[in-house]
Amino acid sequence: MRRAFLVELSEAAKPLLMDLARRPGGPPPKLAPVFAHGIAPAEVVDEAVPRYVAEAGLGVVASGELPLVTTEFTEDGTRMELPSTWLVVGRAD
């Protein structure tokens, strides 16, 4: 079986990202291009991700939730972590 590892931001990440975008100085430099290109991070509802995987002809082998540790820092200097869902998906060959 071939497998892929997928990480998707959880719905819970959206308010955190929106707060970053509304900072007086604008979003952090690494996040600014995402918004500039019209990408809406964390817009996918959590329940839709496994459905999209199934529609692509793949099965979920394993899944879970973990914070996605980024290379960005909060205003107080701590590393930013965003809620995310991970999946191991695969298709039998």
Could you tell me the two tokens for 63? 């899944």
Quickly state the pLDDT bin for 60 (edges 50, 70, 90). Answer: very high
Q: How far apart are CA 87 and CA 63, in angstroms?
A: 4
Reported as half-sphere exposure (CB side, CA atoms, 13 A), residue 17 has a value of 21
Q: What is the pTM of this model?
A: 0.79
What is the predicted pLDDT for the residue at 34?
84
Quickly state the pLDDT bin for 85 (edges 50, 70, 90). Answer: very high
Taken in order of first residue, the domains within the chain and their CATH numbers are: 2-91 (3.40.50.150)
pLDDT tens, position by position, 44-56: 899 999 999 999 9
What is the predicted pLDDT for the residue at 93?
62
* Helix count and strand count (H, E) for the chain: 3, 3
pLDDT tens, position by position, 1-45: 789 999 999 999 999 888 888 888 888 888 888 888 888 888 889
